[in-house]
Amino acid sequence: MRRLSYFGLILLLIGLACVVFGALGLRNVTKINVGQSDDQVWSYARDLTAGRTYILYIESGDAWGVPFGKGDFDSPMPVNVTITSPSGLVTSLQAFFYGLPTDSPYYQEGTPPTTVEVRYQNVDDSSLSVDTSSVEIRFTVKKAGNYSAEVLHEGLWSDTPPNFFVFYEEFVSNREAYSLLAFGGGAAGAVGGVTFIVARFGKEGFKRKRTRK
């Protein structure tokens, strides 16, 4: 029984190591540019693949940062954005942009205002699954097809459109291998844990029963 308990403990440790290694591998995400618009446009469309996760990046127009640089804005400013699905349904959101004033010690010349928060007002749940916890416009596509992103002039403090749009696809190399490793490690850890408990404590419980008799 002692050997069996050692075997269960070793199997448990190996399983835990596989789960940790597999989970870390699944977090190793690379962003791939799958489509970028031309300069100075209000909207951009791209064919997206079902089951994939994307990030919509909007490069703010050159004039967007002027009020931040002058210190006129001291809080993030909302930009109204829509994403139209292949079905024609619309997802509405506000992306909050923030830039540092030029007198800030952290200010770097040429750095445009960037998104620091995203608030979704209406989501086409049949086509998109949005990540409300992300400070980027991040979503998983449920239906393949052409998705159109647009920055609305309504509420914008500048007459200048964004410099460009980019659709990034999140990619994990060897995703299947890492998933299998994590799943297999979990199963091995469970078997090892049960084996260790039964071999280590089951025997003692059996002895106590015999002693009572």
Would you kindly state where each structural domain of the chain is located, as residue ranges?
2-20+177-212, 29-171
204, 59 contact by CB (below 8 A): no
199-210 confidence digits (pLDDT tens) = 666 655 445 445
* Structure confidence by residue, pLDDT tens digits, 97-144: 999 999 999 988 889 999 999 999 999 999 999 999 999 999 999 999
Give pLDDT tens digits for 61-108.
999 999 999 999 999 999 999 999 999 999 999 999 999 999 999 988
Using the predicted structure, report yes or no on whether residue 193 has a pLDDT greater than 60: no
CB 202 within 8 A of CB 21: no
SS (H, E, C) the chain: CHHHHHHHHHHHHHHHHHHHHHHHHHCCCEEEEEEECCCCCCEEEEEECCCCEEEEEEECCHHHHHHHHHCCCCCCEEEEEEEECCCCCEEEEEEEEECCCCCCCCCCCCCCCEEEEEEEEECCCCCEEECCCCCCEEEEECCCEEEEEEECCCCCCCCCCCCEEEEEEEECCCHHHHHHHHHHHHHHHHHHHHHHHHHHHHHHHHHHHHHHC
| pLDDT average, residue stretch 37-57 | 94
Look at residue 188 and tell me whether its pLDDT is greater than 80. no
Residue % of the chain over a pLDDT of 90: 59
CATH number at 29-171: 2.60.120
pLDDT: is 133 or 176 the higher one? 133
